[in-house]
Structure 1
Amino acid sequence: MSFFNSIFGNSENADAPKSNVNWIELTDIAQLMEIEAISNAKPVVIFKHSTRCSISRMALKQFEREYDLNETVDAYFLDLIANREVSNEIANKFSVYHESPQLILIKNGKAIYDVSHSDIDAVALKEKV
């Protein structure tokens, strides 16, 4: 355990709340074709997260606590700092303006719902699914 972890705690702490989301990591542009195809049979959500932004972290944690759509929606998680080219292609392919944090719902190959920052809400998403 590092010195800082012993003083401030480890973010991987067993007492930390667990995510309710069965995330699929989005790291490759080719996965966007997969998402488009899957969305014809099942809704797909993409969460674009900036690991450098505290607002993004807060939106993610709140979303993860409220989320209960694992049986009906495939959820993809994009670390947009590590995968900027994927983030740019999402904006292009699904005709959405890039924001961070951002939640995008894809159905039948098209983005039908797109929110960012404090508008990211798992309950509102459930109404759109």
Structure 2
Amino acid sequence: MVAQKQLHSIEELDQFVAQKGKQLLFKHSTICPISTSAYEEFQAYLLDHSVEAAVILVREDRPVSNAVAERFAIKHESPQIFLLENGEVKWHTSHWKITKDAIKQAVGA
């Protein structure tokens, strides 16, 4: 398992996205029960798989969350997960579609 980072600034987002390889980026609302369920699925995936991962708390770090939507031209949703590969979005989904199995299939492991 790789520990996930929490991104608090645009600079941290830039550094995360600039990394090579596959990464998971999760946008989480700490007050939403759907987001909590999706976050648990995300955590369950990370327990068994080694992949760089980061979380953005959408209410606490709104500018970072907005930057993701703008940078990748993908409408903001919460919860929302992105599979990045070499800085490009290869897959994304939101809400109840965020499951351990869906993440596993998207990452390919």
Return the TM-score normalized by structure 1: 0.74
Higher relative contact order (CA 8 A, sep 6+): 2
Identity rate of aligned residues, in percent? 36
The structure 1 segments of at least 4 consecutive aligned residues displaced by more than 4 Å after TM superposition are none
Q: Give the deviation of 1:103 after TM superposition.
A: 0.5
Q: Distance in 2 between matches of 1:60 and 1:36?
A: 20
Structure 1: gaps (5+ residues):
1-19
Between structure 1 and structure 2, the one with the greater Rg is: 1
| Aligned alpha-carbon RMSD (Å) | 1.6
Matches of residues 43-122 of structure 1 in structure 2 within 5 Å?
Answer: 43-67=22-46, 68-70=48-50, 73-122=51-100
Instruction: Indicate whether 1:36 and 2:39 are aligned.
Output: no
Letter in 2 for 1:101: P
Aligned residues of 2:45 and 2:103 also touching (Cα < 8 A): no
Aligned residues of 1:21 and 1:64 also touching (Cα < 8 A): no
Which structure shows the higher helix fraction? 2
User: Aligned in 2, Cα 1:66/1:37: closer, same or farther, shift over 3 Å?
Assistant: closer
Return the TM-score normalized by structure 2: 0.87
Q: Distance in 2 between matches of 1:35 and 1:21?
A: 14
